[in-house]
A and B are shown apart, each in its own frame.
Chain A
Amino acid sequence: MTTDNAPASTDPAQPLLDVTGLEVSFTTSQGVVQAVRGVDLTIYPGQSVAIVGESGSGKSTLAHAVINLLPGTGTITGGSIKFDGRELVGASKKEIIDLRGRKIGLVPQDPMSNLNPVWRIGFQIKEALKANGVDTRRRRQQLTDALVEIETTPSGDDLYLGSAGKKELLAALRQAGVAEKAVEKAEAALHVGSTTRAQAVGILEQAGLREAEALAAEHVTGASPTDRVAGLLAEAGLGDAERRARQYPHEFSGGMRQRALIAMGLAARPRLLIADEPTSALDVTVQKTILDHLGTLTAELGAAVLFITHDLGLAAERAEHLVVMYKGKIVESGPSRQILRAPRHPYTQRLVAAAPSLASRRIQSAHAAGIETDELLASHAESGGHKHADNVVEVKDLTKVFRIRGSRPGTGTDFTAVDQISFSVARGTTLALVGESGSGKSTAANMVLGLLEPTAGTVEFDGVDITSLRGKEAFRFRRRIQPVFQNPYGSLDPMFSIYRTIEEPLRVHQVGDAKAREKRVRELLDMVALPSTMMRRFPNELSGGQRQRIAVARALALNPEVIVLDEAVSALDVLVQAQVLTLLNDLQAELGLSYLFITHDLAVVRQIADKVCVMQNGRIVEQGSTDTIFDSPEQEYTRELLAAIPGASLDIGPQVPAA
């Protein structure tokens, strides 16, 4: 880890960012809302700090206040923000613009919406270079005179390999009679726009060239902005960067877009990088590689990092210092390990107890220590009462093929989303279908729900193939299996009152009269632990957790036997997530429900599932009991998924913090 390339003004004892008594408020129709209330925060050069908190805790607002990007009516009403000794509150617009990108970089939260869809990736990164005066060509001119001194600097100079230089170097290698294999290796190692002269010397020497230094001096003469963009993308871990830079955001996957955003945030080599939930929208394995990469990259560049996250496990693993925010205030801060081991504030204690990644780790280490784990789980359903092994759902060789339109008639291709999968859900138990996005798990769920026609295979519900059901039978079948979907904001009709939302399935299936239905709605609200006064309200007045409870109540309305939970808790904050999981467990024990639990989050699986099926590319690659999968995974893919749960490197004892 070289930090010697950090700017000379850096004094490790002098804070890079010093926030004191910061207050931010928003003006709404209901008056002034204080989002940040007297926050102190200090970040030293090269340090990594994570702010942890649930949504609405003010953590993102704090970060946005630092670079003056508060949305809408947000204003700083008090306190000070000092960056490198300069006061930012009340600074001129020009000063702030100078700071953005150049001194403080931002990696935003949602990779899907943070790139402009109409411009090529390369254009958007080049823009950041130009705006911050990182004109690689001009700097090359300035550096020509000082070549001798810079040659030996390990990194940090802007003298990068250009695309023409790379071709010349490879030609020179071939001319010198270097074996084709070594040339290919060098070709892969030499990154246009990212490899510095000194690095090139190393690579050339490794390829077996003697006069490497002279060659490098001749051909590594600086990169054009386009080359530099490719280099930045390569540094952010994107393969085939030169071609990728010419593509549009919609041609990128979520992980690739996040890499592009990281390249963008680091383009002008800022001294502080704010990473606002940089990976919460990504699959776990992608999340891990990207965070690993971000970590090494910022360490190499000597940049300080401010992580904003809701995942305590991730925060503790990636940052030295933790800051816990709750309702606009910092309730606790200190070294990460210390906070995890001995949280002092009650809120932090609850957070530590609820974090799925940590809970999962605890179980893991408890297992290793030979301790019985039942009491560690949220409240695992007693499956003893339903020991008779009858399967309520039986899926056999289920296949779904989608036709993808080609660019011209007759060139369409088939895409197999679900490929001959078989599994069964035993009555009164929970089966988790785990996989990354695109693995086909939601498609499988939709077929089990009878919402999607399978291409081949059967779904048997209580011994009856549901694909053969027509008309009235199909209608009756719907009563017995109900879904709860991921996004509680999208799955409730905003024009329906809560009463109407829960009552609708009863009315559709003509259950009872108006009076009986109202009684049932009250009962259901009670079941999901919500007051019956909620009936008259509308979804927009409810929090995410409350909405998801409403969705569960609606699913329960018809007394179904099976509930399909499609990422039902993924969008919720950890504490709320824990509450909903406990509720689901309780309901299962009480009503003997069977769950088909679809998720990408293995940490949650550990807390709720009896059996796990791991899906990859439409196939089930491994299935077994939860303990077997977690303790002795057979497939490499499963192991990767498990390793990607944040907090893997943390050493937490098996003790249970008081919840």
Chain B
Amino acid sequence: MAWYAGRRLLQMIPVFLGATLLIYAMVFLLPGDPIAALGGERGLPPAVAEQLRAQYHLDQPFLVQYGIYLRNLLTGDFGMSFSRRPVADLLAAAFPTTVKLAAMTLVIESVAGIGVGLWAGIRKGGIFDSTFLVISLVLIAVPIFVIGFAGQVLFGVKLGWVPATVGSNVSFRTLILPAIVLASASFAYILRLTRTTVAENRTADHVRTATAKGLSTGRVMRVHVLRNSLIPVVTFIGTDVGALLGGAVVTEGIFNIPGVGNLLYSAITRHEAPTIVSVTTFLVIVYLISNLIVDLLYAVLDPRIRYA
């Protein structure tokens, strides 16, 4: 296990280098001059522009810029945004909001998805099962911004149950609607996955043996059917964790949530190379670590898995 974790951590180095290089190159190749854009209509005096270019190392060749960036990163310096705030500070402000939203989303999609999926799997072919199969199909098929806007208009504007946007007021009450919207698609996937594995496990030989031992139906369902069915479901939820922590650009945009997704989006529209690269790099690390945790969790869930 320790060897496996160590090897996986080592594997993260090339992934990290590759990802940052790729992102850096893409931002570098973006058309337009960010410094010129800073000056707006009137333009900056050439001396100032030159000074800014030197400050952000924009006058150096690409690889040198990348090298300088990496060196700074290793010393914990995520760079400065054009508005002269350290990117690390921007992240520190935005990330907790994203984490809150991600946590709420995860709880909603897991509890609802596994609960409904378990019931549908036990009563496979019944009315409950068929109804939720149709609902889940709709949730998967409809793009998230449609669900987002529809929810916002219905619950936020028409009914007024929850605030329509979040803004600077980040709380459980304001985040609940975005979390439900964000959870909708994954809820549908988790439901379907749970339903299928539960239905499959229910007829497994070892479940029949457990019943023959004289266990109550409830215990057979919990300990032998649900427990075994959770293995693929948890894997799916795990990959979702990484995606959610990476910020939901669309949902955060609709509800104006000051999270990582919004930060990234505004940085892209402003051509802010250091911010884009730093935020993305941070997200790559978050994603890699959450993936590693999921893989290790997998071994806990399924004792047959041996890491070597």
Q: Are these two chains actual partners, yes or no? A: yes
**A110 sits at the interface (CB 8 A):** yes
Q: Which of A108, A113, A127, A406 contacts B215 (CB 8 A)?
A: A127
Of B205, B219, B302, the residue contacting A110 (CB under 8 A) is B205
Inside 8 A of A119's CB, which chain B residues have their CB?
Answer: 223, 227
Assess A132 versus B214: contact at CB under 8 Å? Given A118-B302, A118-B303, A261-B209. yes
* CB-CB nearest in chain A for B208: A69
**Is B206 engaged at the interface, CB distance under 8 Å to the other chain?**
yes
Contacting A at CB under 8 A, from B83-120, are none
In the bound complex, how far is the Cα of B224 from the Cα of A409, in angstroms? 35
> Size class of A's contact patch?
35 or more
Task: Report the Cα distance A102→B223, complex, angstroms.
Answer: 20
Asked if A406 and B308 sit within 8 Å, CB to CB, the answer is: yes
Contacts of B308 in A (CB 8 A): 405-408
Given the complex, which residues of B lie within 8 Å of A128, measured CB to CB? 213-215
Contact, CB under 8 Å: A108 / B212:
yes
Q: Once bound together, how far apart are the Cα atoms of A408 and B306, in whole Å? A: 11
CB within 8 Å for A100 and B227 given contacts A114-B205, A114-B206, A264-B209: no
Q: Decide: A108 and B209 in contact? CB cutoff 8 A.
A: yes
Interface string of B268-308 (1 = CB under 8 A from A): 00000000000000000000000000000000011110101
Q: Are B213 and A127 in contact (CB under 8 A)?
A: yes
Residues 196-222 of chain B: 1 if any A CB is under 8 Å from the residue's CB, otherwise 0?
A: 000000011111111111111101000
Contact present for A100 and B212 (CB under 8 Å) = yes
| CB of A176 closer than 8 Å to a CB of B | no
**Residues of A183-216 whose CB lies within 8 A of B:** none
Question: In the complex, A169→B141 CA distance in Å?
Answer: 70
Looking at the assembled complex, report how far the CB atom of B207 sits from the nearest CB atom of chain A, in whole angstroms.
Answer: 8
**With an 8 A cutoff between CB atoms, is A423 at the interface?**
no
The chain A residue sitting closest to B302, CB to CB, is A118
Beta-carbon nearest neighbor of B305 in chain A: A250
Contacts A116-B224, A116-B228, A406-B308: A131 and B214 contacting too (C-beta < 8 A)? Answer: yes
User: Could you tell me the distance between the alpha carbons of A501 and B236 in the complex, rounded to whole angstroms?
Assistant: 39
Is the Cβ of B3 less than 8 Å from the Cβ of A408? yes
Residues 226-244 of B at the A interface (beta carbon under 8 Å) = 227-228, 231
Q: For residue B301, which residues in chain A have a CB less than 8 angstroms away from its CB? A: 118
Q: Which residues of B contact A100 (CB under 8 A)?
A: 211-214
B contact residues around A81 at 8 Å (CB) = none
Per the bound structure, the CA–CA distance linking A501 and B146 in Å amounts to 51
B216 and A131 form a contact (CB under 8 A) = yes
B216 near A108 with CB under 8 A, answer no
Contact yes or no, B303 A113, CB < 8 A? no
Task: Flag B112-148 by CB within 8 Å of A: 1 or 0 each.
Answer: 0000000000000000000000000000000000000
Q: Which of B205, B213, B228 contacts A113 (CB 8 A)?
A: B205
Q: Does A17 contact B (CB under 8 A)?
A: no
Contacting pair A102 B214 (CB below 8 A): yes
What is the 8 Å Cβ interface bit string for chain A, positions 92-112, against chain B (1 contact, 0 not)? Answer: 010001111110011011100
Which of A102, A250, A407, A408 contacts B303, CB < 8 Å? A250
Closest residue on chain B to residue A112 by CB atoms: B205
**Are A69's CB and B213's CB within 8 A?**
no
Docked-complex contact B304 and A250, CB < 8 angstroms: yes
Q: Is the CB of A97 within 8 A of B205?
A: no
Residue pair A113, B211 in contact (C-beta under 8 Å)? no
Contact A98 B205 (CB under 8 A): no
Given contacts A127-B223, A261-B209, contact A117 B215 (CB under 8 A): no
- B224 and A69 contact, CB distance less than 8 A: no
Q: Compute how far the CA of A92 lies from the CA of B59 in the bound complex, rounded to whole angstroms.
A: 84
Contact B212 A106 (CB under 8 A): yes
- In the bound complex, what is the Cα–Cα distance between A5 and B214 (angstroms)? 22
* Given A248-B303, A407-B3, A407-B306, A113-B216 contact (CB < 8 Å): no
Q: Is A268 an interface residue (CB 8 A)?
A: yes
Tell me the complex Cα distance, A30–B217, Å.
31
Are A118 and B227 in contact (CB-based, < 8 A)? Answer: yes
Q: Mark A63-78, 1 if CB is under 8 A from B, else 0.
A: 0000101011000000
Q: Say yes or no for A431: interface residue by CB 8 A criterion.
A: no
Q: Is A115 on the interface with B (CB-CB < 8 A)?
A: yes
When C-beta atoms are compared, the residue in chain B nearest to A267 turns out to be: B213
Q: Which of A93, A101, A117 contacts B213 (CB 8 A)?
A: A101
Whose C-beta in chain A lies nearest to the C-beta of B203?
A71
Q: How far is the CB of B205 from chain A (nearest CB, A)?
A: 4
Nearest Cβ in chain B — how far from A132, in angstroms?
Answer: 5
Complex interface: chain B residues within 8 A of A408 (CB):
3, 308
Q: A71-B203, A118-B301, A409-B3 are in contact. Are A97 and B213 (CB under 8 A)?
A: no
- Across the interface, do B208 and A108 meet the contact criterion of CB distance under 8 Å? yes
Chain A neighbourhood of B210, CB < 8 A: 116, 124, 127
| Residues in chain A near residue B209, CB distance under 8 A | 106, 108, 114-115, 261, 264
Bound form: Cα–Cα A72–B219 in Å: 20
The distance in angstroms between the C-alpha atoms of A98 and B301, with both chains bound, is 31
Residues of the B chain whose Cβ atoms lie less than 8 Å from the Cβ of A405: 308
Task: Given the known inter-chain contacts A106-B209, A108-B209, A110-B205, please indicate yes or no for A117 contacting B304, CB distance below 8 A.
Answer: yes
Q: Which residue of the partner chain B has the closest CB to A408? A: B3
Residues from chain A with a CB closer than 8 A to the CB of B203 are 71-72
Q: How far is the CA of A72 from the CA of B208 in the complex (A)?
A: 12
Q: In the complex, what residue of chain A is closest to B219 when comparing beta carbons? A: A131
Shortest CB distance A134–B (Å): 10
B190 to chain A, nearest CB (A): 19
Q: Is the CB of A108 within 8 A of B205?
A: yes
**Contacts of A106 on B, CB cut-off 8 Å?**
209, 212
Looking at the assembled complex, report how far the CB atom of B226 sits from the nearest CB atom of chain A, in whole angstroms: 11
Contacts A110-B205, A250-B304, A408-B3 given; indicate if A69 touches B211 (C-beta within 8 A).
yes
Q: Are A113 and B204 in contact (CB under 8 A)?
A: yes
Q: Which residues of A contact B219 (CB under 8 A)?
A: 127, 131
Residues of A within 8 A of B214 (CB): 97-102, 128, 131-132, 268
Closest chain B CB from A71 CB (angstroms): 7
Cβ contacts under 8 Å, A69 to chain B: 208, 211-212
CB distance from B211 to the nearest CB of A (A): 6
Bound-state Cα–Cα, A128 to B219, Å: 11
| B230 → chain A closest CB, angstroms | 9
Residues of B within 8 A of A132 (CB): 213-214
Q: In the bound complex, what is the Cα–Cα distance between A72 and B125 (angstroms)?
A: 13
User: How long is the Cα–Cα vector from A599 to B259 in the complex, in angstroms?
Assistant: 66
A109 to B209, alpha carbons, bound, how many Å? 10
Q: Is the CB of B212 within 8 A of A97?
A: no
Q: Could you tell me if A115 and B212 are in contact, using CB atoms closer than 8 angstroms?
A: no
- Separation of A250 and B304 alpha carbons in the complex (Å): 7
Cα distance A250–B215 in the bound complex, in angstroms? 23
**Contacting pair B303 A117 (CB below 8 A):** yes
Contact pick for B212, options A101, A124, A248, CB 8 Å: A101
Contact pick for A131, options B207, B208, B213, B231, CB 8 Å: B213
| Contact, CB under 8 Å: A97 / B216 | yes
Q: How far is the CA of A72 from the CA of B203 in the complex (A)?
A: 8
Q: How far apart are the CA atoms of A264 and B208 in the complex, in Å?
A: 13
Scoring A residues 108 to 150 as 1 if CB is less than 8 Å from chain B, else 0, what string do you get?
Answer: 1110011111110000100110011000000000000000000
Closest Cβ neighbor of A247 among chain B residues: B303
Q: Tell me which of B205, B219, B224, B227 has the highest count of chain A C-beta atoms within 10 A of its own C-beta.
A: B205
* Cα(A329)–Cα(B205), bound, Å: 26
Minimum CB distance partner of B204 in chain A = A113
What is the chain A residue whose CB lies nearest that of B209? Answer: A114
What 5 A-B pairs are tightest by C-beta distance, nearest first?
Answer: A101-B214, A106-B212, A100-B214, A113-B205, A128-B213
* Chain B residues within CB distance 8 Å of chain A: 3, 203-217, 219, 223-224, 227-228, 231, 301-304, 306, 308
Beyond A98-B214, A105-B212, A114-B208, 19 additional contacts (C-beta under 8 Å) are A69-B208, A71-B208, A93-B217, A99-B214, A108-B208, A113-B206, A115-B206, A116-B207, A116-B224, A116-B228, A117-B206, A118-B302, A119-B227, A127-B213, A128-B213, A131-B219, A248-B303, A407-B3, A409-B3
**Can you report 21 A-B residue pairs in the complex whose CB atoms are below 8 A from each other?**
A71-B208, A98-B214, A100-B213, A108-B205, A108-B212, A115-B209, A116-B224, A116-B228, A117-B302, A118-B231, A118-B303, A118-B304, A119-B227, A127-B213, A131-B213, A132-B214, A248-B304, A264-B209, A264-B213, A407-B306, A407-B308
